[in-house]
Structure formats: structure tokens, C-alpha cells
Structure 1
Amino acid sequence: MLQNNFRFVKKIGFLINPVAGMGGKVGLKGTDGKVKEALRRGAKHVSFDKAKKAMECLKDYKNKMKIFTCSGEMGEKCLKGFDYEIVYNPKKETTDEDTKNVCKKFLEKKVELIVFCGGDGTARDIYDVVDTKIPIIGIPSGVKMHSAVFGLNPRISGEIVIEFLENEMRFMDAEVMDTDEEKYRKNILDVKLFGYAKIPYEPKFVQSSKSLFQSYDEEETKEDIARYVIENMEKDVLYILGAGTTLKKIAELLNVEKTLLGVDAIKNKKIVAMDVNEKQILDIIRNEKKVKIIISPIGAQGFVFGRGNQQISPEIIKKIGVENIIIVAAKQKMFNTPNLLVDTGDEGLDKKLRGYRKVITGYHEMVMKKIGE
């Protein structure tokens, strides 16, 4: 067989974690070991639709790849019209072992790129098997996604695959990180680095791993932000507070309890509801005359919506209105974040959210920051 740069067809491994991201909107902060609870709360599968968006970008490139995949919802269901071969048949209720088993098949087939749809846990399972033997690229569908192996959104993940099919790409090391979900559900953020996978070199289109800023100066800045926000809170307005230490500082100064990693509601400087999911937020805002969202971007990734706060869904944002979103972030975080990003899963809403937005960075201090693609 000819060398890779002279071949017209490249071997692609493709897999979907069917349960990835299910816990987001229902407030479970992850789906590991909680699929039945997520379903009980009314969660819906989200990874298939996200994988489909990425694969739609590749329709005109079918003749440039041979796809190796799993049967059913772990891959085959999303590949109508593509040239694919089933190399693994998972159980009806899939687990991390199914992900690892199909990755062993990918090694046997000598695939040249693994395209997967899932979150940090899926990335970790793939890395456990393939290490750096095969480059990977993730279609973001998890709840947390601290790892640097994902495209900024499903469409961009698809575009990275196109670039791989069309050209000889360089590869870069990217962090594979994961959160202890049991601690996460108890509002303890314990993120660990598990290794460095190989990904296609497209730094503009791949999210960075999350940074955790904990300096003394930053703590002072968070207090300044909190004081300014509290002073400007309006009477009888309901405030939906996203996750993170900056927003928790607001609650601390109000002397009310708030979840560190959940979404909470405050009105007239008192807590209304804690750790709410999408359905609960919709119930709460139904009879409110005015509602605002206060949100802080995730670390160096810069995601305002779509990472770790999926409870604030597109439906909620549309009902509240993009004009009623307040973005807060410490100056240090903004200095380390070139652009803000959104990936709500609703492309029309993402377009409305893009553009320059005011970010509160201190007491009476603000910057204009661009929300880009």
C-alpha cells in the first residue's frame, strides 16, 4: 500500500458515547454511574444529535475515508450514506468497557484518526487504550469537558476531520483530564491530568484544557466583582447564578448558601432554589416578570454557555433574553482568555450570543470581550 500522503482513502475510527451529556440539563453534573437517575429526571440523549451535526459536514468527503465503527447507537445509527464497517457490537446498555473494546479494534484495523462523541470520561477511556498510537478528536457532548481534545463545537470538530482528510496535518499533544464526579456532585472540584493524547494541530479550533485560577489577588478581585453585582441587583428581579467561585463569592457576601458547581436562583438577595436543573429553572421563571442570568466563563477555555452549565439551556436563555445576561470574570481570567465562546447546541442562539459583550471584571470595572466561534 502507498504511503499515507499518496492515499486517497483514510481509515477513521468513529464512536459515540450514547449517554454522554445526559446529566447536564437535569443537574447531575455528569452521567457516570447515574444514567438511570438521569432518565428518571427526564434526561434525553444528546450525543447522537451532536455527532450527526459533525458528520453532516463530512457528506462531501465520503469517498476520502473508510469508517470503522460500532453497531447501533454507538456509531452505526449516525452513518447512513457513509462507507463504514462494523467492528464491534456493544451491549444494549453501553459502558466504558465498550469504549475500550472498540478502541482495541481500532488498533487492530490501524485507523489513522479516532473521532468520538462524548466527554472527558470517554476521552479518558480512549486514551487508556490507544495512548498516543492513534490521534483523536472529540465532538463535545459531555457535561464537564476539561480536556483539550475537543473541537469548539460539533461543526468545528467536523471541519478538523475534513482538514485531516484533505491535507497532511501535524499533530500536537493535548491534555486528557477528568473530574471525580462524586466529588463534583458534592461541590468539590477535583480535576486530574491523566496524560497527553495526540490531536490534529488546529489550535484555533480546539478548546484548551481548563485553567484553575486561585491566586490571592484573584480572590480580592472576585470580592470586588461580587460587591458591584450586589449593589446593582434590582428589587423583585430573579437572578439565575451559574457555577464557579466568582458566583459563589456573590452568595457569600449576601450571606446565603450557594452550590459551587451547580446553578442556583436568588431574588431580593435571598436564595430561592439551589442546584436546579433545566425543568426546575423553567418552572421557577414561568411566573417571574423579570429574570437575569449571571454567568462566568470556564477558565482558559472561555466558554460562557455549553460547558458545565447545561442546566441553563437554549430554551431558558431565549425566554430570559440575551440582553439579560450578565457576564462576570476576574481580570486575570480575561487576560488569559483570548475570546469567549458559546456552544449551547442551538446554532441560531449561538449566533445571537456572538459579538462583543460587556464583562464585569472588578468594582465598577468592565471590559468588552468578543464571543466568537
Structure 2
Amino acid sequence: MRRIGVVVNPVAGMGGRVGLKGTDGKVEQAVERGATPRAPDRATEAIESLARHAEADIEVLAAGGAMGADAIRATGVEPTIVYEPAADAAEPGTVEPGATTAEDTRAAVRAFVEHGVDLVVFVGGDGTAVDVATALDELGVETPMLGVPAGVKVYSSVFGVTPRDAGRIAATFERVEDREINDIDEDAYRGGEVETELRAVRPVPVAEDLQSSKQIGGGSVETLAEGFIRDIEPGTTYVLGPGSTVGEIKSRLGFEGSPLGVDVWRAAPDGVEATSYHEPASPAGEVLVRDATEADILDVLDDPAVIVVSPIGGQGFVFGRGNDQISPAVIERCDLEVVASRRKLDDLSVLRVDTDDDDLDESLRGWLQVRIGRFERRMMQVV
């Protein structure tokens, strides 16, 4: 029998769609902005996949209430509760700000190890990954860990690509390998600075559907941005995602965008100024929102509208990592333009999406053209 411990950070990812770029120390602010829990649904999705792919008997151990048991029971699986959060003030299916802490996560992991689990599955982001790794390191055990991605920032290479992938890997893995756990300072991240710090190296199940560590930076994107500027359509609203590649486009549009946030810009109805091929001018237009939340985007969105995003280097995610403000409701109202340097695409075999909407994810899968230069595009498959 395989024994798997499951712990959920119930507030992980809540800051994404409301533009907080993380939830560390910002839970109450996220709730005030209308954020709703994301992690419980992703935990349920992972457990459903775990149960579906299990080839032998599996016992699921869990922390109580919103830290695991509620989401697991929603699948019809009855977990063995080995830790009850001391401050579990949440009713099933709800989250009270500050109801659970990082120490609760570490305590749950210690309880799992005491009960001899074969794998610790956690639902959250990089901060949760650090908490789990810290507890395992302090115990001096080689128990492997595996993440179900639910946080805003997911820079570590210990996560399944999707919750379903994580569930399948947990049910079927046969061996493990050491992988990196990275984290960033969320306050610096909100200020536009990204500096990853290696926090731990832990055994993780070996599988193809584990994401790589994020690569910061990329190749030259100047010609790509020039080509984009030339193709701007008068009167069109552009939802511009985070990252240095789209940041170059924002600069060419004549404004300093939020490097790790989403900005909305609308082209003037009378079109773009004529220019030479070598020195494109900034087109006429206006910034509608800087560092927008999902609600901000929806408030100003008008037809026609285009989302402009660049896949994450090393992982290939177009949606679902670092740009949760561009929600399914936004995506469904816009056309899509994906931009990337040649170097970034050379390191990617496929592109990925993870929007929390299965039907939308399916509709986005297939082949699409990615702009890589003034005129050049490359076909890439979204899986």
C-alpha cells in the first residue's frame, strides 16, 4: 500500500487575479479585493486524478479542515486525519484570513513523516514548497515531495504541470530525483524585481510532466517589438502581460509598464504614425490601467481586444503562471497574440496553459503562431 500525505495551503494563489502577485502577508487585502480561494479546487482535482490512476491501494493522510480534509472528502475519498490546525477557524469550503499558518504546514508534514508516508503532496506555491522542504530537512528524512501548482509564483521544479498531472504522478511514480526549490521576495516582486533564491534541494518523483525551474531573462526582443508595433490596429485594446519580452513592447508604446503585472493600452482610433522600418515611432494611444486586476481589465475591455503574452522560459506556460489576472473571463473576450524570442522557443518543445477552466484549456490547445521577429512567426503546439 502506498501512503500519501496531503497538505493544502488554503490561501495560496488568492492574490493572483486581484493583482497582488502573491499572498504572503496579503490575505486580508486579497479578500477585501474580492479574491476567492483557488487551492481547494486544485487539491480536489489532483486527488480525483490520484484515485483514477491508482494501480494499487493508496491511503491518503491529511491535515484537517481547509488544510486538506475538506478538499479530499469532496472527491469521495475519506482521508486519515493526522494533524488538526490549531487555528482552523474555517468552515468546510471556506477560508478565514489567517486561520492557518506556515507552522501548520510544517507540523502537518512532521505528522506525515511520523506515520510513514511514501510521499508528501502539497497544494500551494513556492512559499508552501519551502515550508514543506524545511520540515523534511529538519527531520533529516529522504521522503519525497510533490507540488500541486496553486500559487501565483511557481518558480520551483517540484510541481506537476497541472493538478491532474500531479495526481497521476503521485499514484504511479516508481523513482525519485533531486530537484530545486526556489523562492522570491514577494515585496520585491511587487516592486518589479525578480531575484530567485535556491532554498532547498529535495527528492521528487521522476516524471515528464514536472515543470522546469523558471529561467529569468531571454534573448533580444527588439525586432519582435518593432514588428508588433507595425501591426497595431487602430482602436484596439491590448491586454499586455508581464515579463521582459512584453515589457519591450510596452516601452515601444511609449510608457513604462509594470514589469510583473498586467497593463491595458488602447490604440487611438485614427491609427499609428507612419515610420521607417529602422526607427519605429511610438503609436498614438493611451494607457487605460497599469498593474491591473482581473476586475480592472474587465471594466475597460472593449471590442476589439487582444491579449499579448510571452511564454515562461523553461516551462512554456502561456497562461496560469504569474498572469492570473488574465482570467478565463478575460481570455474569452479577446484574441490572443503570443510573442517570444527565438532563443526562448529553442528551449521549449511545447507551450502550456493552466487557466482553471478545463473547457477553455482544451479550446486553447493545438497549434498557434508565435511572433519571433519583425515579420517571422513560428508554429508551436499548445498541449
2:273 is matched with which residue?
Answer: none
| 1:29-40 → structure 2 map (5 Å cutoff) | 29-40=21-32
Q: Which one-letter code corresponds to 2:348 in the other structure?
A: T
Consecutive unaligned residues in structure 1, runs of 5 or more: 1-8
Does residue 1:308 correspond to 2:322, yes or no?
yes
2:106 is matched with which residue?
Answer: 100
| 1:306-345 → structure 2 map (5 Å cutoff) | 306-320=320-334, 324-345=335-356
**How far apart, CA to CA, are the structure 1 residues paired with 2:217 and 2:35?**
32
Once the 2 structures are TM-superposed, how far is the Cα of residue 64 of structure 1 from its aligned partner?
1.0
Q: Which one-letter code corresponds to 1:366 in the other structure?
A: R
**How far apart, CA to CA, are the structure 1 residues paired with 2:48 and 2:118?**
20
| 1:1-373 → structure 2 map (5 Å cutoff) | 9-60=1-52, 61=54, 64-80=57-73, 81-90=76-85, 91-92=87-88, 93-131=99-137, 133-164=142-173, 169-202=174-207, 204-214=208-218, 218=219, 221-268=220-267, 269-285=285-301, 288-320=302-334, 324-372=335-383
Consecutive unaligned residues in structure 2, runs of 5 or more: 89-98, 268-284
**How far apart, CA to CA, are the structure 1 residues paired with 2:329 and 2:122?**
27
2:179/2:201 contact within 8 Å kept: yes
**How far apart, CA to CA, are the structure 2 residues paired with 1:199 and 1:101?**
20
Once the 2 structures are TM-superposed, how far is the Cα of residue 170 of structure 1 from its aligned partner?
1.4
**How far apart, CA to CA, are the structure 2 residues paired with 1:83 and 1:239?**
47
**How far apart, CA to CA, are the structure 2 residues paired with 1:41 and 1:103?**
31
User: How many residue pairs get matched?
Assistant: 349
Q: Which one-letter code corresponds to 1:158 in the other structure?
A: G
**How far apart, CA to CA, are the structure 2 residues paired with 1:128 and 1:105?**
14
**How far apart, CA to CA, are the structure 1 residues paired with 2:209 and 2:303?**
39
Residues 134-153 of structure 1 show CA distances to partners (whole Å, capped at 9, x for unaligned) of 11111110101011111111
Q: Say which structure is richer in helix.
A: 1
**How far apart, CA to CA, are the structure 1 residues paired with 2:103 and 2:375?**
52
Once the 2 structures are TM-superposed, how far is the Cα of residue 213 of structure 1 from its aligned partner?
2.9
Once the 2 structures are TM-superposed, how far is the Cα of residue 270 of structure 1 from its aligned partner?
2.6
Q: Which one-letter code corresponds to 1:119 in the other structure?
A: G
Residues 60-89 of structure 1 show CA distances to partners (whole Å, capped at 9, x for unaligned) of 549712222111010111222434221111
**How far apart, CA to CA, are the structure 2 residues paired with 1:130 and 1:229?**
48
RMSD: 1.4
Residues 167-216 of structure 1 show CA distances to partners (whole Å, capped at 9, x for unaligned) of xx1111111011110001111112111121111110x21111101235xx
TM-score (norm 1): 0.91
Q: What percentage of residue pairs aligned between the two structures are identical?
A: 41
Once the 2 structures are TM-superposed, how far is the Cα of residue 50 of structure 1 from its aligned partner?
0.6
2:2/2:56 contact within 8 Å kept: no
2:126/2:155 contact within 8 Å kept: yes
1:257/1:271 contact within 8 Å kept: no
Residues 325-353 of structure 1 show CA distances to partners (whole Å, capped at 9, x for unaligned) of 00000111000111110001111111111
2:124/2:149 contact within 8 Å kept: yes
**How far apart, CA to CA, are the structure 2 residues paired with 1:118 and 1:289?**
35
Once the 2 structures are TM-superposed, how far is the Cα of residue 257 of structure 1 from its aligned partner?
1.7
**How far apart, CA to CA, are the structure 2 residues paired with 1:63 and 1:52?**
20
CA gap 1:62/1:39 in 2 versus in 1, 3 angstroms? farther
2:242/2:323 contact within 8 Å kept: yes
Once the 2 structures are TM-superposed, how far is the Cα of residue 129 of structure 1 from its aligned partner?
1.1
